[in-house]
Amino acid sequence: MHKAQIGTVSEATLRPQDLIQAFLWELDWLGEDISQWEREIPEDEDSEWWDTEEPNWILDELFDALNEHAPELCYFGAHVGDWADFGFWPIDDIFDGEDIVARGPELPDKPTDEMQDTENPDLFMTVSDHGNYELYSWNGTEWVSEWGIV
């Protein structure tokens, strides 16, 4: 089983045939049993099934399943700047909302009292002078890196 990574899963297409295939591949890579969906989807990309509402329902289910795997403070969906770029993305407010997660240039030794005033008191985001971000979670004894953006 793998951990979801921030970035693109499918881009440059809105065809259900392409999206479903890419989303299933990602779920399979993440360790999910995708057989329930594979049984429902026809192999023929020209099947009339693709013109029904069924692909939309499956896409809704796949979005929900992928969101279950989204990294901390991230979502699965379209990129804010490109509605045909689907993947795992940080929530918009994380980079400028100090009330969501504490941040600073260096990781503290352990969670601080000031962190208790945020929505996520066991998370800390380091921000370098170059604009790099790394999100950490406190596991009770040490900080664990959840993800980073360079």
pLDDT given at position 92: 82
pLDDT (tens digit, 9 = 90+) per residue, 91-137?
Answer: 988 887 768 899 999 999 999 998 999 999 999 999 999 989 999 99
Structure token digits, residue 52: 């029904």
Task: Give the CA radius of gyration of the chain.
Answer: 19
pLDDT (tens digit, 9 = 90+) per residue, 53-65?
Answer: 999 999 999 999 9
User: What is the rounded CA–CA span in Å between residue 29 and residue 115?
Assistant: 35
What's the pTM?
0.90
Read off φ and ψ for residue 127, nearest 5 degrees. -130, 115
User: What share of the chain has pLDDT > 70, as a percent?
Assistant: 99
Beta pairing partners, 78: 86
DSSP 116: G
